[in-house]
């Protein structure tokens, strides 16, 4: 059984092919056009998706060594994300599935990130979590602790009340004039810096929720003061600034996660989303595994940022449940009670 999966929620156009839940191909075209603007420009993103979608899907089908007529279903990201970007993937998926007379499967992008740990590249790739597990989902738009009870039953224990972790990193990087996206740049610099060189404010909020806007402001104000004394402060200290910023964010993320593990008693802990590519966060996971006997799941780098493989595996589980989408199902930018009701049992939210 072959599934074609399509992801176009933000600035990556991606297509994947799976056979019986095993990944055969995963092709992604990233968009460099946003770099000069310091962030994703929605209008440019949808135009680039239009240009990329046909070649990317063609390449995914070719790399899987199949013909499009072999496909049994088309899975696609329905939301949340940028509406103009989503519309390209959703419309393409509808037209493609219709022309082949095969069913469509709508996938929640966040559910895809959380289930990325079930992507299997071969039959003997069997290191997947069992249920329930906790997943720290950290990306440019989300920071959540999700309790995953089954493929389709997920409970958000906590989430950011303002900025996401990736957003905070990107904004601080922009303030330092380091470029976009800031995550990989900060990660690289942090490896050469002293994480205890500077101290930034950490939020003190109840429960499992996160807040990163205070940290961003604290970073900005500190930087302003230091720049008054030394106009080249950033150049002189960029490694230490990156390392200290990264440590602060990782500490905030891990503190709430430790609390969730303690309160739920669930010791299988996964990390997902673009920020899970961060080496400081990955090291913190490994350290917690050793210290607190967690069984951890860290995705391969290629499955941390947006990719169609995770949409494909989520689509595969929905296919087994015969949970198909109707042709008139609209894309959604944000999860609301209304659009959750329209599709299956998604409980993850943006």
| Residue at shortest CB range from ligand KG4 | 274
Instruction: Give residues 68-87 in contact with ligand KG4 (rule: CB under 6 A).
Output: none
CA 36 to chain centre: 23
What is the size of the binding site for ligand KG4 (CB under 6 A)? 19
Nearer of residues 39 and 267 to ligand KG4, judged by Cβ: 39
Nearer of residues 23 and 186 to ligand KG4, judged by Cβ: 186
Nearer of residues 36 and 225 to ligand KG4, judged by Cβ: 36
Nearer of residues 73 and 169 to ligand KG4, judged by Cβ: 169
**How near is the Cβ of 183 to ligand KG4 at its closest, in Å?**
2
> Could you say whether residue 112 binds ligand KG4 (CB under 6 A)?
no
> Could you say whether residue 111 binds ligand KG4 (CB under 6 A)?
no
The residue from 10, 107, 172, 313 that contacts ligand KG4 (CB under 6 A) is 10
Q: Interface with ligand KG4 by CB under 6 A: which range of 51-59, 136-144, 193-201, 203-211? A: 136-144
> Could you say whether residue 140 binds ligand KG4 (CB under 6 A)?
yes
The residue from 60, 266, 277, 311 that contacts ligand KG4 (CB under 6 A) is 277
Which residues 6+ apart lie within 8 Å of 255 measured at CB?
A: none
Instruction: Give residues 145-184 in contact with ligand KG4 (rule: CB under 6 A).
Output: 166, 169-170, 181-184
**How near is the Cβ of 245 to ligand KG4 at its closest, in Å?**
10
The residue from 278, 314, 348, 349 that contacts ligand KG4 (CB under 6 A) is 278
Nearer of residues 61 and 247 to ligand KG4, judged by Cβ: 247
Nearer of residues 10 and 17 to ligand KG4, judged by Cβ: 10
The residue from 178, 275, 308, 311 that contacts ligand KG4 (CB under 6 A) is 275
User: What phi and psi values does residue 298 have, to the nearest 5 degrees?
Assistant: -115, 125
Instruction: Give residues 217-236 in contact with ligand KG4 (rule: CB under 6 A).
Output: none
Nearer of residues 103 and 166 to ligand KG4, judged by Cβ: 166
A 10 A CB-CB count for 43 gives: 10
Query: In the complex, which residues of this chain contact ligand KG4 (CB under 6 A)?
Result: 10, 139-141, 166, 169-170, 181-184, 187, 273-275, 277-278, 305-306
């Amino acid at each position: 059984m072959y599934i074609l999966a399509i992801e176009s929620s933000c600035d990556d156009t991606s297509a994947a092919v799976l056979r019986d839940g095993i990944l055969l191909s995963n092709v992604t075209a990233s968009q460099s056009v946003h770099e000069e603007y310091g962030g994703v420009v929605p209008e440019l993103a949808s135009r680039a998706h239009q240009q990329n979608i046909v070649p990317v899907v063609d390449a995914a089908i070719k790399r899987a060594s199949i013909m499009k007529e072999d496909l049994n279903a088309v899975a696609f990201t329905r939301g949340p994300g940028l509406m103009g970007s989503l519309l390209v993937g959703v419309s393409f998926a509808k037209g493609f599935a219709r022309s082949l007379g095969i069913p469509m499967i709508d996938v929640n992008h966040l559910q895809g990130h959380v289930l990325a740990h079930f992507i299997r590249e071969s039959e003997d790739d069997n290191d997947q979590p069992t249920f329930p597990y906790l997943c720290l989902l950290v990306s440019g738009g989300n920071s959540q602790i999700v309790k995953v009870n089954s493929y389709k039953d997920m409970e958000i224990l906590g989430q950011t009340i303002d900025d996401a972790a990736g957003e905070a990193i990107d904004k601080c990087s922009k303030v330092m004039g380091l470029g976009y996206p800031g995550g990989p740049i900060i990660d690289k610099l942090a490896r050469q810096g002293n994480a205890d060189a500077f101290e930034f404010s950490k939020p003190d909020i109840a429960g499992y929720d996160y807040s990163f806007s205070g940290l961003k402001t604290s970073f900005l104000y500190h930087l302003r003061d230091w720049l008054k004394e030394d106009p080249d402060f950033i150049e002189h200290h960029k490694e230490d600034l990156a390392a200290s910023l990264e440590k602060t964010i990782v500490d905030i993320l891990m503190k709430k996660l430790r609390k969730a593990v303690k309160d739920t008693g669930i010791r299988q802990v996964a990390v997902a989303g673009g920020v899970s590519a961060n080496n400081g966060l990955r090291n913190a996971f490994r350290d917690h595994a050793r210290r607190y006997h967690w069984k951890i799941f860290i995705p391969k780098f290629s499955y941390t940022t947006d990719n169609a493989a995770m949409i494909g595996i989520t689509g595969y589980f929905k296919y087994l449940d015969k949970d198909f989408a109707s042709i008139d199902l609209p894309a959604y930018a944000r999860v609301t009670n209304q659009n959750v009701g329209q599709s299956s049992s998604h409980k993850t939210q943006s």
